[in-house]
Structure 1
Amino acid sequence: MISEFQEALLDTVGACPPTQIANNKYENVLENLDSGIMLFDSDGVLSFINVQMAKLLELPRSSLAGRNLMQILHLPELSRFKKKILRIYKETIFHRKRYHELIDEYGRHWLMTVTYGDQMDGDFLFSVKDVSDYKQIEQTAYQNDKLAMLGRISASIAHEIRNPLTAIRGFIQLLRPHLMELGRDEYARIILTEIDRANDIIYEFLNSSKPSAPQKTAVSVMGLLKEVVMLTESEALMKGCQIALDENNELMKVSIDVKQIKQVILNMIKNAMDAIESISGEREGCIDIHTVLEGSYVHICIEDNGLGMDHNTLSRLFDPFFTTKESGTGLGLAVSYRIIKNHGGFIHVDSKHGMGTQFKITLPVV
């Protein structure tokens, strides 16, 4: 036995032609895609828009359907998208470009695809998808490739420079007795000292560009941060800023190479001090350091109210040799990235120009 409702439903389905049922099914699929879809007919009128696209535009579909592109652009709610939409329209129509990559004000990456031509019977289909996760994976892989290349270059440089320096050092030592007879032993001493200094610089460069495997010990996160703050407080005061440490999660421990992680945190605090020094006089500088326990990970957050960074700087921040400082080497953050990665963690940066920066170091807890 079937209910009256089921009978009515079967009658309705039976009354619908197969084409109509198929169309309803396909339309339902389009409605529930995670990509935004817009379809303009040959007259340029919006004939279909799915739920996801309406959410992205933050407008009800009823206010968009049936309008042409110019009418849509004149909606006040879409004023912030106007320039981007016009640029996409120009590139599509005049340059036959079908794929467009956009970055919104929150740093998310969007891929827009335009489909038109004979297969669309004069219609234009626009689809928009959030590809931020794919971009992050791509950027991580690219970063790893660059760091591996940096390690190989460093090893090659160290080998090529150290060999002649060793030979020079040996010959100076052979000549030293003759220089002593001439009363010029000081020359030999200075040359040997400078050669040793050059060797030390090469060693530091090689060690920093290709950090050794971490020698881990279990330490208190808060104890480590207190020690780092103590080391940097006096320099911070000289640069006109205060360091505020939120002493919570006292018992939390991580298994780390203390020397390496201390190097990372010191580097980030010094970067924060430089960012604050560049806006001295505008406002009082402050560096806030706090920890957040989330599942089996701890986030060490270092936040400043300094100059901040634009998107172009952020996108290259961990590139080897990229620096915005006159006397910088561009290795500090690249090395920090690899150290944290070797510890099974990661670094996240959030910054806006003129509004400060937050570095978040994530490490697994013991």
Structure 2
Amino acid sequence: MINGFHETMVDSISPFQSTQLVNNKYENVLEHLDSGIMLFDHEGVVTFVNVQMAKLLEVSRAALTGCSLVNMLKHPELNRFKRKKILRIYRETIFHRKRYHELIDESGRHWLITVTYGDQLDGDILFSLKDVTDYKQIEQTAYQNDKLAMLGRISASIAHEIRNPLTAIRGFIQLLRPHLLQLGKDEYAKIILSEIDRANDIIYEFLNSSKPSAPQKTVLPVANLLKEVALLTESEALMKDCEIILVDNPDPLQVSIDVKQIKQVILNIIKNAMDAIQNVDNVRPGTIQIAVAKEGRYADILIADNGQGMDRHTLSRLFDPFFTTKESGTGLGLSVSYRIIKNHGGFIHVNSSQGEGTEFRISLPLVQK
């Protein structure tokens, strides 16, 4: 009888131990997922936090477990930015019953928050947080390509139709100019011709942005290109009270590029930097630093200014066709630059903060020796 009782106890303990092992295994998997996970019970108390979520909040798991939302918001280790984001997530997901919410953190990374609640969790609420920055970048690239394709169709259909009458108008103004000179109104002709030329320049930008010509590549040291660009922009920079600083690099980094096109990109970025510096109302000297560095298989051309910088909205739309913050801008310069660098097999990135200046990084494939 005793032996039978012992066998019954062993049989009942064995499945319990097996279940416990499985539960521990699953909990260990959840703890070390690359997504952040936090579970609230039906009373709003945190019952589980995985390693990634604690790392993102920068608060220990032990300090979070057992906290209510109010306790969490009062936690001294939680910074103000995260408090605001948690309140917004609560409002969007719990109050407005939205199961998905996106946010951008202090470093500009994109996160997708998914909320699961209902009968399947017996009243508990599960929050999961996943980094979707790479997906957003792929989506933005596809969106950018669609916009450039649309711009190409629009440009091809209207540019020639506008240029033809402008050419005729310019010719007639030239014929009328002697008569205007006799009347003492030659400045009228100058203004009209200047505006026609400006309109033609805009049309040229349309045509160039719709389909930049195929690169006619030449192998040359990046340092030589940057020296030439610095000389070209030095006088204009002095007129706008800023200094061009060219940082020497003894490493002879060589790239295969269309010199005219890449020069157009760099000049456009430097001109934008000059405008950004000119709009800063302070006494600090304006500087534009140009440098080149090797980064893996690429030569990185860095153009950094100490101008007014950009907010996140401007930064997110910087390469969109027709987007500009200038009164007289067309919004095509940087979208054309984006296309040119892409056609060279390179990349262009921007880092900027308001009041702290802007840095453009142009990555071009190195010529393998």
* Equivalent residues in 2 for 1:35-184, closer than 5 Å: 35-80=35-80, 81-162=82-163
Is the 2:215–2:258 contact (alpha carbons within 8 Å) kept by the matching residues of 1?
A: yes
- 1:277 Cα deviation from its structure 2 partner: 0.8
- 1:282 Cα deviation from its structure 2 partner: 3.2
Is the 2:153–2:210 contact (alpha carbons within 8 Å) kept by the matching residues of 1?
A: no
- 1:118 Cα deviation from its structure 2 partner: 1.1
Query: Which residue identity lines up with residue 295 of structure 1 in the other structure?
Result: G
Query: Which residue identity lines up with residue 85 of structure 2 in the other structure?
Result: K
- 1:292 Cα deviation from its structure 2 partner: 1.2
For these two proteins, the number of residue pairs brought into alignment is: 345
- 1:280 Cα deviation from its structure 2 partner: 4.5
Judged with a 3 Å threshold, the aligned counterparts in structure 2 of structure 1 residues 117 and 241 are, in CA distance, closer, same or farther, namely same
The answer for the alignment partner of 1:364 in structure 2 is: 365
* C-alpha distance after superposition, 1:299-344 (max 9, x if no partner): 0000111100110110010011111111111111010000000000
The answer for the alignment partner of 1:277 in structure 2 is: 278
- 1:28 Cα deviation from its structure 2 partner: 1.5
Superposition TM-score, scaled by structure 2 size? 0.86
- Structure 2 alignment gaps of length 5 or more: 1-12, 182-188
1:26 aligns with 2:19: no
* Equivalent residues in 2 for 1:236-315, closer than 5 Å: 236-315=237-316
Is the 2:307–2:357 contact (alpha carbons within 8 Å) kept by the matching residues of 1?
A: yes
Judged with a 3 Å threshold, the aligned counterparts in structure 2 of structure 1 residues 300 and 195 are, in CA distance, closer, same or farther, namely closer
Cα distance in structure 2, aligned partners of 1:243 and 1:169 = 38
Judged with a 3 Å threshold, the aligned counterparts in structure 2 of structure 1 residues 202 and 77 are, in CA distance, closer, same or farther, namely same
The answer for the alignment partner of 1:226 in structure 2 is: 227
- 1:82 Cα deviation from its structure 2 partner: 1.2
The answer for the alignment partner of 2:328 in structure 1 is: 327
Is the 1:38–1:46 contact (alpha carbons within 8 Å) kept by the matching residues of 2?
A: yes
Root mean square deviation of aligned Cα: 2.8
The answer for the alignment partner of 1:4 in structure 2 is: none
* C-alpha distance after superposition, 1:236-280 (max 9, x if no partner): 111111111111045211000000000000011111111111115
Cα distance in structure 2, aligned partners of 1:249 and 1:209 = 38
Judged with a 3 Å threshold, the aligned counterparts in structure 2 of structure 1 residues 241 and 120 are, in CA distance, closer, same or farther, namely same
Other structure's SS at 2:148 match: helix
Query: Which residue identity lines up with residue 118 of structure 1 in the other structure?
Result: D
Judged with a 3 Å threshold, the aligned counterparts in structure 2 of structure 1 residues 21 and 90 are, in CA distance, closer, same or farther, namely same
Other structure's SS at 2:300 match: strand
Cα distance in structure 2, aligned partners of 1:288 and 1:184 = 51
Query: Which residue identity lines up with residue 273 of structure 1 in the other structure?
Result: M
Judged with a 3 Å threshold, the aligned counterparts in structure 2 of structure 1 residues 349 and 44 are, in CA distance, closer, same or farther, namely same
Moved over 4 A (4+): 13-16, 162-170, 183-186, 193-201
Cα distance in structure 2, aligned partners of 1:208 and 1:110 = 33
